[in-house]
Structures are given as structure tokens and as C-alpha cells.
Structure 1
Amino acid sequence: MLLATAAVTAGLVASAAPAQAATTVVFSTGHIDLVDIAYEAGALEIGVHDEDNDVEYATDGVAIVVKRQAKITVPNDPAFSFLGTPGVSKVWVLPEIQNTNLVWPGIAAEEIEAGAFAGDQLTLNVQSVSGPGQLAIYTENAVGQPVVLADSGNGLPDALTLTAGDHMHANWAFDAAGTYCVTFRATGTLADGQQVTSEPTTLRILVKA
């Protein structure tokens, strides 16, 4: 995974967060793998992949913006109570199904070659979330019921199992506006039995009020 030097360019910068450093790329739309896992030179690493332009970035050179348009009312269904009070509470959601006005968040292990890891399995740990509220990552099944993958509201770390070659999408829901720092770590057991673990990687996400 080649991580590009982060540079603000007209094609990449959204009118997002105020006072961003000149070396930060800011995304408020587009197909962005917020977690992109690779295994190179004997090490697991996590970056951010701009799918639309096929550019890789180090997480510390990126800021993700959740626009005001992402704010919704929690569905009026008790199954969604992990997000707040159904039918009452507000949350900001980067959606599993693409909305071209928002970031479409992906989680990818496409760069992991088949056979490199035992059973082709990896674990992505959501280690910590700091910010003004909670983060929940979840999918919805065929009948619209949530499947929670990670929820800082009931304690972390949470672990997601990925398969080599995977590319998945999920809803990323935040229950308050402000700046979040989300820390991830990837682990896996190589085909020869050796366990490898990435360095902890922190992604910055700005939720607009």
C-alpha cells in the first residue's frame, strides 16, 4: 500500500472543517475506505483509500467530514435503541448505501493476498473512540434490522472479522456533533503460524452541527 503525501488540492478538498492544516486532505463526499488494511514487508498497516481517485493516504494526513445533511432521527424501532431513543434522538449517519452528497465509508482488505493468512482471516479491532459522543458501526439485513459491528456506547474494544479480499460498507453513526478520534488496530495469524499486529492507527472525523 503506497501512502501518498497528504496535500490539499482543489479536487480533493471539501469546504469542510475550519482551520485545517495545509497538509491535511479533507473529504466530505466520495467513496472512501476509512479503513484500508494491507500487508507489506512483513507488517500489517492501516490507511485511508480514496476509491474514486485510487489514492492511498496515511490516516494522520486525512480528515473526514460528516455533513449536516447526514443528521437523521433514530428509526422508530426498538432494535435501533443502541443509537438513542427510537423516533426521538438525532444521529449523524454516513450510510451503508451510497449517498453521493456524503462520504460513503468502506472497510477494505482487498490488498491482502489469498493464502497469506491462516483461513484468510483478519481481525480489525476498534480500540477507542474519543469525542463528544458515541460511534456505532452497523449494517442492516434484508429486512432492515441492524447488525451491530462496533459500538463505543457499550464499551470497547470491539472486533470485526474480515476475509482477505473483502470490501464492505456499513453505517457509521455519531450521536453528537464535534471532533472524533477513532483508533483501530489489525491483527492476523500468517499461514506459517506467526501472529502479526499493526500499529494503532487513529482516524479523525469531524461531525458538523
Structure 2
Amino acid sequence: MSTAMTRALLFTGALAASLGLTVTSAQAAPIPLSEGHVDVVDIAYEDGGLELGLHDETTGTPIERDPADVTLRVKPEAETVVPSNPAYSFLGSPGDPVWILPQTNNPDLLYAGWAAHEVPAGVFQGDSVTLRLTAVSGPADVSVYDISGGAPVKRFDSGDGLPDAVNVEAEAHHHTNWAFEAEGDYTLTFRATGTLADGTTVSSEPVDYHFTVG
């Protein structure tokens, strides 16, 4: 390292110290995921507790990621309109724009769901845990719903109040529709709770998942 560069670095550190500042290295940019298979909420039972992560298979090689390191992109190709069918009124008025990651695989978009592969059978009462959406921040409402028998079945909907909850069976894997009513950045906060066979209740920490729409 040159003498001039060394002096510059020492000066920067001294100036920061005199101002009560801390010099830190730049944080890594979030990993953008925009198409392919992803279990947005991956529930695991480890060391006597529940944990939430993100299971990424978008590259074809499964990777467990910290949700804090990931931005889930809802591409412009996800834009559609709210159907005229009243059953979809929770998405907005007929003809309004809505951005949907679909329940069926579209190779141009994220194929998103949740999973509990790492929750063994026989550990929890009812062989299931409860997954809650506890908060949503963003420019508009968010809904998560299945299509069953040709009709939508809501799982989570920030538009009619939170928290909302679903039961997730041990070792389950489920894909669903994720609908966003405006472009922009969203944070969805999830938490999992279960009752062990001995009656003890365990919960994960609340975990934030970040989406960018449009």
C-alpha cells in the first residue's frame, strides 16, 4: 500500500472517530429472485424450536437462505386484472390491476409457496403447526389464496385484518397464489407456532420477507 493511501485511510478513520462515527464495510446487496421454484416460508423444527427460512430452488440446486438476504421480485409480467367474478372482490374492483404469482408454474415468474419438509411427523399434536401472517407493510393490500374447485379460497388477506393463520401439516409442501394490489416494496411478517406432543407450545421468531412488485 502506498504512503499516500495509508495516510488517507488514517485520516478517514481519525475524522470518523472525531465525529463519533463508525467506519464499516458496505453491506452485501440483497439476492434478487424473480423466477423459478421457491418456498418463501420454509418451516423447520430444530433443537427443540421452530425456525423460518427460505428454500431457494431457482437455480436448480436447493439452497437454504436467510430471508433477510433475499428480495422476491414480482415481475411486470405478473400484472393482470381483477376478474368480474364477485368471489374475487377481495383483490379489488373488477378490472383493477393486480400482480399475481400464480399457484401453477409459470417459468417466467416465481413459483412460490411454503413448506414444512423439516417438520417431522409425530412431533407436534395434530401433526401440524400454525403459520401466521402477522403484519404487512407496503403500498397496498396483499392476499394469498388457493384455487379449489374453480373458486378462490383465501389463506391470508391483509385487506380484512391481520393476523391470519393456516395449518401446515408436517412434511407438507404447498404452492398458492400471491396477489399484490399495487407496485412497490412490501414486507410480509410471518411466524410459526406449534404444540409438541407433550403439550409444550413452541414458536419461531417473527421473520420478515421482502417483495418488490413491478
1:37 to 20, 37, 43: 43
Q: Which amino acid aligns with 2:65?
A: Y
Unaligned runs of 5+ in 1: 1-20
Deviates more, 1:22-31 or 1:96-105: 22-31
Give, in whole Å, the separation in 2 of the partners of 1:146 and 1:106.
16
* Matched residue count: 186
Unaligned runs of 5+ in 2: 1-26
Question: Which TM-score applies when normalising by structure 1?
Answer: 0.87
What is the RMSD of the two structures over their aligned residues, measured on CA atoms?
0.9
Give, in whole Å, the separation in 2 of the partners of 1:63 and 1:180.
10
Secondary structure of the equivalent of 1:80?
helix
1:204 to 195, 202, 210: 210
Aligned partner of 1:65 in structure 2 is 73
* % same residue: 49
Displacement after TM superposition at 1:23 (Å)? 4.1
Question: Which TM-score applies when normalising by structure 2?
Answer: 0.85
CA displacement, residues 10-65 of structure 1 (integer Å, 9 cap, x when unaligned):
xxxxxxxxxxx634211000100000000101110100001332100011011100
Give, in whole Å, the separation in 2 of the partners of 1:70 and 1:136.
14
Aligned partner of 1:134 in structure 2 is 141
Aligned partner of 2:123 in structure 1 is 116
- After TM superposition, the structure 1 = structure 2 runs for residues 24-103 of structure 1, keeping only pairs within 5 Å, are 24-51=30-57, 52-86=60-94, 88-103=95-110
Quick check: 1:161 aligned with 2:167?
yes
Name whichever structure is richer in helix by fraction.
Answer: 2
Runs of 4+ in structure 1 off by over 6 angstroms are none
CA displacement, residues 81-135 of structure 1 (integer Å, 9 cap, x when unaligned):
000112x111000000010000000110111100011110100000000000110
Secondary structure of the equivalent of 2:90?
helix
Give, in whole Å, the separation in 1 of the partners of 2:133 and 2:181.
17
Q: Which amino acid aligns with 1:165?
A: E
Secondary structure of the equivalent of 2:40?
strand
Give, in whole Å, the separation in 1 of the partners of 2:163 and 2:188.
11
- Pick the structure with greater CA Rg: 2
Secondary structure of the equivalent of 1:119?
helix
